[in-house]
Every structure is written in C-alpha cells, then in structure tokens.
C-alpha cells in the first residue's frame, strides 16, 4: 500500500541540485512539492521567473508559478512539510539546515556540512540505510521530537562505495582501495567550471574531493554501534583509501578507476568478483521503494564500458555501472565504475533515503 | 661544432606521426628530409596531393612537391639516407622495418613491433640513451655493417618513465607503481577515434595500452648487461606496475595519475621528491642535442596543474610536466604527469634518439 | 480505435538510423518489429552480436536475439511485413529499395535516393502528408498492387520546412529564404566524423547538404497536381533558397539561422509571425497518430533559445523549436530553428509518415 | 630604420585581452611594457601573484614581478608611456579611458565604448588606418596636445570587414551583406561562458553582437570627410547588413558564413572574387609594420576550409582566412571567413594600429 502523500520542501531550489529535486519530485508517488526555498534575492517571486533552468526536461507546470520563499523555517509552507530536501551550497547549508532542524523539521541534505557529524547518518541508499538507526539518539541529544538531519554522500564517493559494499558483503573487509576519478562538469554546479578551463583539457584537481572520498568511505561502509548511538567508522580497522580526482570534459557521469586489496587471502577470483557485483542487492530494493533501481550494480561485459554518455541513464541514473573487472598486478582486483553524479550522486540519493525513512516510519 | 647535414627518410609519411616528423624535421640542424614513404596507393604522387594534412602549421613548402615512394628500401632515395624514421602503423611496421634493416639501413621507429626485441634498444631519450650500447651486438648478430633498429616507447609509457627515472636516480629502485592515464584522441591516429565515441564521454579502454606501460617500464628503467649484449629488465627485481588507461576528449596531451612506493625506507620526503624532479638532468641535455628540452621535467607549483591544453607546449613539447606532488595514504608519493603524446610521446623521441646517436657516431 | 498490429522490417538495422528505428518501434502501438536487414557480413547472426549499439538506452530485449537477414525481399520475414523502414546508406539504398518495391513491398525510406523521383512522395510528416495522394499513380505506373516507396526529407531540410510551412500557411508564398545550419555530428552516421576533425572546431562543409536543402524545400512546400499524378514543386514560383551548411561539435540537434522574405507586402509583423508559429497545426496532429508531437512548433521566448542540448528532447524529439523571431534588416523576418536530427530529422519522420499512411489505408 | 623603443602601458592587464597584450608586446620591436593597470584589488602586488594566466605560453619572465597599478593616469609609470593599450571591460573602460585621454595620454582600446564616438577612429588595421587622419581634430576639439583615443573593432566585425574591404576595393560598393557567425568561447573572456552552457551545444545569442556588426561595418568601410573632421559612414549609401551571431564549442576562432550583393551589375565572377581576395593588400603591409601579416587574406582552396582549429594560427593570427567562395542563389557571392578572435580580433589589431600610428608620427 502506498503511503499518504507527504508535503516536501526544497532548499536551494534554483540551484543545480535543486532543479534535479524538482524534476524528480514533480511526479513522485510519496512526495508532493509544497515549498521552495532560495536566496533572499529570489524570494517572493515566481519560480519560473528567477530560475535559470538548465535541464533538458521543461520546468514542471505546477512548479512554474510557485512563489519562492527565503530559506528560513518560518517562511510560508515549510512548517507543514514532512521532509525538507536540501540542495544548498556548503557555504550556507550549515546554518540553514541547523535552523530547520532546530525548528523540529526533518532535513535530507545533499550538502557536505553534516556528513562528518557524529550524530548525523551519512547514507548511500544502496549501501547503508541501517545508519538511520541513530536518529532517535540524534533527536534525543538535541531535545527534538521530530527534527533531524540525514545527509547523503559526495557524488564520487557514492559511485565508489556501492561496488565496495558489494565486495565486502561477499568477501569480508577490504584492506586497501586506490581510485582515480574522471569527474563531470555538472558536479561543480552552475556556472561552475568555465568552458575556457575544461574544453580540450583535464583539470587534475577538485578541491577537497580526495579527502571526502578517503574519509566518507569508512563511515559509510562501517556500522552503527550496538547501542545505536555512534558510527564505528569501519572498526576495527579502517580501509586504507587513496584517491586522485580529476575533472574532464564530460557533462554528466563520474568515472572511477579502482584497484582493491582484500583482507581475505587468497582473494576471490575474478569470476567470483563479477558474481558478487551482479548479485548484490540492498535494503532499498527489498523495501521496494519507488526510486530504487531494479539493479543496484549493472555489470558490463563489453570491454570498453561503462561510458558516461552511454551508460549514465541506466535505471534512471539510480544504479552504479561496473566494468573491466580484471586482476591487478599490484593489488587483487581492478575495475571501472560509473555513477550519474546528478542523480544517484546527488538528488536521487536524498530522495531514496527519504523513501526508505518513510517505510521505516521516520518520516510521517 | 654542428655535424654535417644528414639525409633522412620518413616511412608512413602521410600518417599522423609522419606529419609530425615532417613538421619537426623541415628545419632541423642535423637532418634534411630526402625521401618520403607511404602506401602503394600514394606512391608516385606529390606529397601535398595525397596527404590529409591535419596540423595547424602548413605543409613545409619544399615538402609539398616531393614525390612519395613505396616503403621499400630500394625505392628512390632511401639508400642514401643516413637514418630512416618510421611512423608506420604496427600492422605493417614489422615487415617493412625488417626489410630496411636487412638492406643495411638505420631505422628509428615509433612503432611497437621491435620494442620487446632483445636486440633492439627501447629508448626514451630523456632516460636511457645508454641502451644504444647494444647496437654493435645487434649489427653483429645480424651480420650487418651499418643497419640497425632503435625504437622509442609508447607515448603514455614515455610520460611515466621520465619522472620515475628521476626518482630512481635520486632514491634508488622503485618497488611499486600504480598509474591511471587520461589519454588524448591524437594518440589513436587519423581518423582514429569517432567523435560519436568520445564527445561528452570517457572510453575506459585503450586496447593493449596497459600491458605496454607495465612491460616497457622495466626495460627502459633497467640497464644493459656489462657485455653490452642484453637488457637486464630492471634486474634484480622488476618494478611492479599496474596501469589503467582511459581515453578522454582532449586533442593532444596524455595525463597520468601516479602513485609510487620506494624500496628505500623510510621513503624520501615530499620536498626531496620535488627537488629530485626539479634537478633531474639527462644525457640528451648534457650532449646538448638540438631537440633536447632545457628542462627534462617541469615541476608545477599551481595546485591544478599540469593541464594538457595549457602545458603541453612547454619546451616545444619535449619535456614532461609534473605537479600535485603529495603523500599517498597507501604508497609513498602521488603525483600527476603530462606528456605531449604527439611530440615527446612520438616523433620528438625518435628524433632526439637519432640526434644522440649522431653525437655518439652511430649515425654518420 | 487502434489499428491491428502491423509487422515491420528494418533495412540497415545495425546503422545509426536503424538503431533509432529499433528504439522507436520496440514499443510502438501500431507496428511490431518482425525482420531486420543488414549487410551480408551480419546476416545469419543475432542482432546483439553484430551491432555496435550506440544509443543511451539499451537494445530492446526481444530484439537482442533476432537473427539478422540480408537486405533482399526474399530473406526470412520481409514478405510478411506490412511496411519496411529503410535506414540504408545512399550507396546501397537505391538498388535495395527498388528490389523491395518490385517485390510489391511498401518502403518508407530515410535515404536520399528517391527523394527527387517524380513518382515518390518526399514527406515531412508535419508538413505535406497530402503528397501520399500520388501513391495510386506510383503503383499504377509500376504495375504494382501494393508496393511503393515514400521518402522523408534530409534532416536539416526537415528542421527548416516546418517553420516555413507555418509561414506559408498563414501568410502565403515565401519569396526568399537564406539559411545557415550548424549541424550535429550524428548526422554523419557512425564512425562518421573523426574526433580529430571536429573537436574544438567547425567544418564549414557538409558535402551535398546545401543542394538538398535548396531543392527539397520546393518539393515539400509545393503541392500535388489536381490529377494526383505529379508534384508542382511550389508552382507557379519556386522559393529562392540559399543554404550554407556547417558541422559543429554537437552530438544531436541541427540548428538553423534563417532569414525569409514574403511575397506579401507589407509583410506580417513579428507578433503575427510568432502567432503563426504557435498556432501551426498539421494533419499528423489532426489524425492523432501516436508519434505526432503535441505541438509541431515550440516557440521559445527566452532570447538565447532554442539550444540543441537543452531543447532537442521536447515532445520526444518530434517537434521543431523556433526562437529569436525578429526583424531582418535585409529581408523581412529572421529566426533560429532547431530539430532533433536523429528523430524528427530521420527515423521519427519515417515512422510518423507510416502512421499517417496506416490511418489513410495505405498500409494495411 | 626601426623607431626608438616606446614605453607602453596596459590597462586591464590581468584580463583575457590584457594577457594577450602582454604575450604579444613582451618581445615587440617598437614597444616595451612599462606599466600594468588592473583593479584596485590587484594594485600593489606582483603581476604573477594576481593574474590567473590562461595562455599556453608562460608569463614572460620580466613581467612576472612587475607591480600592478590602479587604472588611473597618475599611477606609477603611465605618465611616461608613449601609448596605453586598453583591454578593459566595457563597464569600466568608458570612464578610465576618458581619464587617461584627459591626462593627455594616447589610448589604443579594444573596448567598445568609443567605437561610435564621432571623434574616435574605429580602425581595423588591415582596412582603414586612413581614419587616423581625424586625430588632429579629436585633439583640437578636446583641447589636448597629445592625447587621443583610437579603438579597434569588435572581433567578429573585424573578420567580416577585411574580405568586404577587398571586394569593395576591387568591385565598388556593396549593397547587401548577410552573415551568420559561429563564435568561439574566448570571445566572452574569463570565466565567461560556463561549460554547462556550451559543451555539446550551440547558444544562438551573443548579446549586442549583431548590432555591433551591422553598425561598425559602415563606419569602418566608409571614409573620412575631406576636412578630416568626420566619418562618412559609407556615404552616400550604407551597406545593408544583417547579422546572426551564435556561440559554438570552439576555443579560439570566429567563423562567418557570408553572402553579399554588389551594387555593380553584372556582379564579378567567382574567379574575379577569388582573385580580389588573393590580391588584396593594405596600408599596414605597405608600411611594413612588424605585426602586419604577409598576407591580409589567405584564400583556401580545400573545400572544407577554413577551420578554426587548423587555420587560426596562419600568419600568427594576424590575417583573415576565406574559403568556399561560390555563387549564391539569392545574392551574388557566398563565402566563409575565419578570424583569430583573440589576436587580429582583439589585441593584435590594437597593436598594429599603434604600429601604424608610430610610422605616421602619431605616437612618438
């Protein structure tokens, strides 16, 4: 039985991630868009008149004339929202999300600000929705009845940890992960990357990105302590992760070139690894939430796949593609992974996380 | 004192590498273009009428009307050449270069066919011209008075081994190298990569490329046995190299993201590594050959460099750029390197190799 | 009431246009894919094993294992097809389509070979399906009971004539049309345009394209003679059309920059022209065929639209976008138009033409 | 005899055009860089520490440590400059250039602000340096002894008027010109065009650009009145110019697709037009100033040229390329032209204009 329609707000509604939230939520079976928040400059005006809409699908009709609000919990409509999605930039997300939670509202955020907070779950929906178990503790610590913050991971982290989760599920803890990413321009928002910087070019730096991958991976792949009050950060032993992140002239879709070493010895064979990827299933699928992909991981047999332009759309951008699974002369196994950074890497993750929370009674 | 002008031939003169040979040799202080070889289809016609010239500089005037020959040692002009440069494709290079050598001609080849031949030097001119020492043995084994074959390395191997050579020179043998490359379309020749395959895309496979990097590195960084009759392939212990190669929408310039582990413990500091790169000099520079770069390695301090479009032209594309030198959480040091794949990665290497051979009396 | 399911064949099924036919017909309400034709090299093998599939959607499941036939009317399955769609290249389309028609089969072709044939309709489905009236005469001249050929227009012609048809419908004959096109790489098929030719570049020539636009426009915008036996080629006076065609680094979507002069004096105002575009409707819409767009022409108010990447998907690529409608200092009105060259510019046109033919009893 | 070295200042030295001025003036035979002006934010700091240098050649060594000044005529060094080049943005160029002239300094500006000023020459160096004749009048009207302003044209105007000047020189006045441009991203400065706006896309609007082409053409191709006090704006009859301007994913090089109608009847033949382009010479060449190209117009015979990536570098970017010269079904002749928008389209024009002024005694 489908749950009752839940009113939702969107913070940062005019931004790149905000536009994706609108596109994905416009016809959602659980959620209906009720309030849009943006900067004071846009507040009070109709959405279509202030947004620089950059998606290839048009602005949903009923959203065009919605009046944009300031991003304060008291602004029209947010108080009635069962959940507020945040696509805010990191420079403002910290304070605004804090204020919304303090007003006893529920925030599912794509921003980085609370990812390392010991009270806030950092959830990749195809990996660790079990981390939602900490929410009662978060509410209790803050003296809130309803409000809390859940974050999703950095886009390139998300593309990496889904296949890593499949490997750990099948073969036990990983010891070492090396990854080089080739990331799309859309990851930098709009206007984001200047065309003079990236056309016919590679920029071998994305500020802060490598540290995010190296840190977030252990929180996501770790567990919750038995008392549901803390994250174990992949105890007893963290995975040793080394990341190099580059920007390439691709519009959407982050590619990762990965090599991993298992703690298990001897390591699994290539065939076993392929099987583990193919057979990986996750709680989002078991719960049957509407935005969960039919397959969490699509394994490509063609030797030159996955490719961002051709494969990012699989399962509406809600899965991770994996290919070129082969032995590594240095570690155990190498593979290439691909994520749609603007969907599973951003808005789609927040939405699936919230869908799971609905099923678990954490959004009502 | 500059040596006397030496007549040279170019095999595969209408191809992508052949065009670079012509551009670079048109005004060369040692060499003058004397014979052009291409397929039977082009033979007998003027160069300008058969080539699809794709460089941004025009065809040198005196080359336009040169008559193209078939790629046989008896065809007009080759017999008088002091050296023949080969930009042939691998599917024909094996037989043709063999025939030229058998006719007692000297071949400097960009093709892969003889790179693993135990008699043929595989020379990156900024690294191992000492391997030319095997030439007397090659001649002797084949019963030749003058003829021999020297090859240069694969373009992405070349960009990698120059900084690796600097590290081994300063700190002793490397134990492990992991590299992910982001390679330019020009590496595939013309017509090469279809625009429908690479625009707004990454292709995570370049057939055979990873194996070349993993194998060639040890021959290049190894030495010649004391009797000058064999290569030691980095004895007593090979470097463990793992490569992942991708194609990105960049016209010229291969980027490599590298992590290395030294055998030396403790490893050098980041400052020591930077210093080793900056201070690296090579025999080509000491000999002062005309195409040697003023700096073999350019170290970039800007955190987002090197970038292919902006940095490939440094020192006329004859150096390797290195940047982002930093600690690796898994191995010892990570860095990013960049090579102009159509110059130092191809024609320029052959030419510097030949310049060195002139200085050593191996081309007269 | 929907018509009974009609079996269809696809010629050139492995090519760029053929892949679009398969994508669009895989779930079509009128048509079911029954036979796939390709070169002798592919014949006898399963489709998925011979095609180099280049679309972002996967190969439809039931098509993967279909066995490819040679392109002869006697090959398995074609004889039972109610219509055969041809995505063949022009170098083979002439003979093959002739043979299929001679075998009394119905061919809807995207190839150029029969566009100028005085017996064959050249139909842009949003403009001149009335030209189907010549089919009885075509059959009769060739002594056929059922077979005939219908062609659709060149992709860039299609994008131009839809807005021109709207103008002629509202304001009478046009006198002069100047157009410069900026065409996508997908128009050249696969492998088509080399990436080395088009990245960071414009190629100001598409061989034969300007002549197609200049000629086809008058056949399409003209009528059929009262006896339904000939095309009047825009009698009594042809439109004077001048086209310049360029290739730009865009994957899908041809842009046209157009200036027109009316015979009517004074010409309509800009507001009247905008209204004519907005209100333009066509027979395909009136018949309600399944692939007809809700709007034939989408008028963009934003001053920097239409743009190929953002607007090509409107109405599933089955409409033409128009924007920047303004006065021309030289002629009367200037505007910019955009067509999805691989959908309305190719396969979608053939399919809508056939849908209309079904409604008119010309395919049964 | 070469003139004595003249000290020059550069306004807007950190911007895109300013960087080109520095690159081109660093080794100039007439001029030596003496003062660099930028915003107050950069003033007082070393050039290398404040500029985001985006050229593929490094910052000239002696410029790296120059201290940047504010853009006021009293700031250190400007007073000693024989000429000040302005690469300022239009929003500040009006006031600053006015102030410099009022301080009796000579300004050669790339900005648009004074192009339509009836006292200021608008000079394309390969077309109308004769307009310098108005300078005594400009000085006299403003009561200045030395100071004046000369502007160069918009980049796309420049690429158009050079071939138009050749046609008018050979065949008399033009009546009508239609042009569609495909312009490079570098024309918009840095950061300029967002990569999300232009990758895999065409933007069919460049704000204000069409009006510039339509207006500037007549001032440039017109003359000076016999009293040297006014511009005749192509009297007695202006050319009727209609322009459509688009942005395409090209880094450098604006392409124009042009159709022209002569007043002369019958019009010249295609062969005569080709000859007129080939034989066009201009005063900059006759004076032999150092940056003048050997050929003002390069005529391409290959049917698919000129192309921006391959042809922009001809004559160091100081010429205009023309190709595809053919009959127009509507007007008389069509052709394609190409200009390097960052060199002849911007800084190079200012510099050649100043070189000519040196030869004419207007800069001393």
Across D240-252, average pLDDT: 98
- For B266, counting Cβ atoms within 10 Å of its Cβ (0-12 exposed, 13-18 middle, 19+ buried), the class is exposed
Check whether residue C128 and residue C160 sit in a common domain: no
C364 in any annotated domain: no
Q: With a CB-CB cutoff of 8 Å, which residues 225-244 of chain A face chain B? A: 240-242, 244
What band does C4 get if pLDDT is binned at 50, 70 and 90? low
Q: Note which residues in 295-354 of chain D have CB less than 8 A from chain A.
A: none
The reply to whether A208 touches chain B by the CB within 8 Å rule is no
What is the C-alpha separation between A253 and B16, in angstroms, rounded? Answer: 31
The boundaries of the domain holding residue D127 are 4-152+345-358
What is the average per-residue pLDDT within A286-305?
Answer: 97
pLDDT at res. C76: 84
> Which chain D residue's Cα is nearest to B49?
D302
Is A158 among the domain residues? yes
Residue B196 touches partner D, C-beta closer than 8 Å: no
What are the E-state strand segments in B198-353? 240-247, 254-262, 297-299, 320-327, 333-339
Cα–Cα distance measured from residue A279 to residue A296, given in angstroms and rounded to the nearest whole number: 9
Mean pLDDT of chain D: 97
Smallest Cα–Cα separation from C149: which of C127, C122, C125? Answer: C122
D196 in contact with chain A, both atoms CB, cutoff 8 A: yes
**Shared-domain flag, residues D210 and D332:** yes
A81 CB within 8 Å of a chain C CB: no
pLDDT digits (tens, 9 = 90+) for D153-185: 999 999 999 999 999 999 999 999 999 999 999
Residue A144 CB partners (closer than 8 Å, separation 6+): A101, A102, A104, A138
C3 or D278, which is more confident? D278
Contact C127, C152 (CB under 8 A): no
Whether A82 has a pLDDT exceeding 80, the answer reads yes
Find, in chain A, the residue whose alpha carbon is nearest to that of C58. A314
User: For residue C350, which of C194, C153, C207 has the smallest C-alpha distance?
Assistant: C153
Residue-wise pLDDT tens digits, C108-156:
999 999 999 999 999 999 999 999 999 999 999 999 999 999 999 999 9
Question: What tens digit of pLDDT does each residue of C169-178 get?
Answer: 999 999 999 9
User: Is there a contact between C290 and C345 (Cβ–Cβ < 8 Å)?
Assistant: no
Say whether both C287 and C185 belong to one domain. Answer: yes
**pLDDT reported for residue A1:** 43
Rounded Cα distance between D328 and D326, Å, is: 6
For residue D1, is pLDDT > 80? no
Q: Does C64 map to a domain?
A: yes
User: How far apart are the C-alpha atoms of B1 and B112, rounded to whole Å?
Assistant: 34
Q: Residues A276, A278, A284, CA angle at the centre, nearest 5°?
A: 95
> For position D274, which CATH number holds?
3.30.360.10
Same structural domain, C71 and C107: yes
Q: Does C271 fall in a domain?
A: yes
pLDDT category of residue D76 using cuts at 50, 70 and 90? confident
CB contact under 8 A, C311 and A56: yes
Q: Which residues pair with B259 in a beta bridge?
A: B178, B334
Taking the C-alpha atoms of residue A80 and residue D148, their distance in angstroms, rounded to an integer, is 66
| Chain D: closest CA distance from residue C8 (Å) | 34
**Residues facing A64 on adjacent strands:** none
What is the least distance, in Å, from the CA of A257 to any CA of chain C?
A: 21
A363 domain-assigned? no
Q: Is residue D363 part of a domain?
A: no
D151 part of contact set with chain C, CB < 8 Å: no
| Structure-token pair, residue C43 | 């014949």
Report the first-to-last Cα separation within chain C, whole angstroms. Answer: 15
Lowest mean pLDDT segment, chosen from A265-269, D55-59, D97-101, D325-329: D55-59
- At residue B4, the pLDDT reads 59
Instruction: Using a pLDDT cut of 70, give the percent of chain D over it.
Output: 99
User: Tens digit of pLDDT for each residue in A167-180?
Assistant: 999 999 999 999 99
Which residues of chain A does D194 touch, with a Cβ-Cβ cutoff of 8 Å?
A: 190-195
Is residue A99 within 8 angstroms of chain C, CB to CB? no
> Which one-letter DSSP state was computed for residue A282?
-
Tell me how close the Cα of D194 comes to any Cα of chain A, in angstroms.
5
Residues D182, D120 share a domain: no
Q: Are residues C115 and C24 in the same domain?
A: yes
Helix, strand or coil, per DSSP, at residue D122? strand
Q: What is the CATH number of the domain that holds C103?
A: 3.40.50.720
Per-residue model confidence (pLDDT) at position B238:
98
Q: Taking 70 as the threshold, does the pLDDT of residue D3 lie above it? A: no
Structural domain includes residue D364: no
- Nearest Cα residue to B352 out of B361, B364, B339, B343: B343
| Rg of chain C over all Cα atoms, to the nearest angstrom | 20
If asked whether residues D66 and D182 sit together in one domain, one would say no
Mark whether B201 and B332 lie in a shared domain: yes
pLDDT of residue B1: 43
Whole-number Å distance between alpha carbons of A51 and A42: 8
Q: Select from C64, C153, C144 the least CA-distant residue to C114.
A: C153
| Same domain for A165 and A105 | no
Q: What is the pLDDT of residue D112?
A: 97
Chain A CB within 8 Å of residue D202 CB: no
**C254 part of the active site:** yes
Q: Are B314 and B169 in the same domain?
A: yes
Same domain, B42 and B185: no
Which structure tokens are listed for A260?
A: 């991993």
When scoring B56, B159, B178, B255 by the number of chain A Cβ atoms within 10 A, the one with the most, hence best to mutate, is B178
Condensed to tens digits (0 to 9), the pLDDT of residues C283-318 reads: 999 999 999 999 999 999 999 999 999 999 999 999
How many secondary structure helices (H) and strands (E) does chain D include? Answer: 12, 12
Distance separating alpha carbons of residues D186 and D184, to the nearest angstrom: 6
| DSSP-assigned letters across all residues of D64-121 | HTPBEEESSTTSTTGGG-SEEEE---HHHHHHHHHHHHHTT-EEEE-SSTTTT-TTS-
CA distances from B189 to A307, B25, B124 (A): 21, 20, 21
ipTM: 0.96
* Contact predicate A83/A31, CB 8 Å: yes
Which of C23, C50, C53, C58 to mutate to probe the A interface, most A CBs <10 Å? Answer: C58
Q: Respond yes or no: is residue D315 known to be catalytic.
A: no
Residues C90 and C209 grouped into a single domain: no
- Contact state of A329 with B200 under an 8 Å Cβ cutoff: no
Task: Look at chain B and report how many structural domains it folds into.
Answer: 2
Give a yes or no: residue D243 inside a domain. yes
Q: Which residues of B92-120 are buried (b: 16+ CB within 10 A; e: fewer)?
A: bbeebbeebbebbbbbbbbbbbbbeeebb
Residue contacts between B and C (CB atoms, under 8 Å): 58
């Amino acid at each position: 039985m489908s749950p009752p329609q839940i009113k939702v707000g969107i913070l940062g509604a005019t931004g790149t991630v905000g536009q994706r939230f609108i596109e994905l939520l416009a016809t959602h079976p659980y959620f209906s868009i009720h309030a849009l928040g943006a900067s004071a400059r846009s507040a009070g005006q109709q959405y279509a008149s202030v947004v620089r809409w950059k998606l290839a699908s048009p602005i949903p009709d009923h959203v065009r004339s919605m009046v944009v609000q300031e991003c304060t919990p008291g602004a029209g409509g947010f108080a009635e929202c069962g959940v507020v999605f945040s696509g805010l930039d990191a420079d403002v997300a910290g304070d605004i999300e804090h204020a919304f939670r303090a007003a006893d509202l529920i925030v599912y955020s794509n921003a980085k600000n609370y990812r390392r907070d010991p009270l806030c779950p950092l959830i990749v929906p195809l990996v660790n929705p079990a981390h939602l178990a900490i929410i009662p503790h978060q509410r209790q610590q803050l003296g809130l009845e309803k409000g809390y913050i859940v974050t999703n991971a950095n886009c390139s982290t998300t593309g990496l940890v889904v296949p890593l989760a499949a490997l750990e599920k099948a073969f036990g803890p990983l010891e070492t992960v090396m990854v080089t990413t080739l990331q799309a321009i859309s990851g930098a928002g709009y206007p984001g990357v200047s065309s003079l910087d990236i056309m016919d070019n590679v920029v071998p730096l994305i500020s802060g990105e490598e540290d995010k991958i190296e840190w977030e991976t252990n929180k996501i792949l770790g567990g919750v302590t038995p008392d549901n009050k803390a994250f174990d950060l992949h105890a007893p032993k963290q995975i040793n992760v080394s990341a190099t992140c580059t920007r390439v002239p691709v519009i959407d879709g982050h590619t990762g070139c990965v090599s991993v070493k298992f703690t298990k010895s001897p390591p699994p064979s290539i065939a076993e690894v392929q099987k583990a990827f193919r057979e990986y299933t996750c709680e989002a699928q078991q719960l049957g939430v509407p935005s969960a992909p039919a397959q969490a991981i699509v394994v490509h047999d063609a030797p030159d796949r996955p490719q961002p332009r051709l494969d990012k759309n699989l399962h509406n951008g809600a899965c991770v593609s994996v290919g070129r699974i082969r032995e590594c002369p240095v570690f155990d196994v190498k593979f290439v992974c691909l994520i749609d950074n603007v969907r599973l890497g951003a808005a789609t993750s927040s939405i699936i996380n919230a869908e799971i929370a609905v099923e678990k009674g954490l959004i009502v």
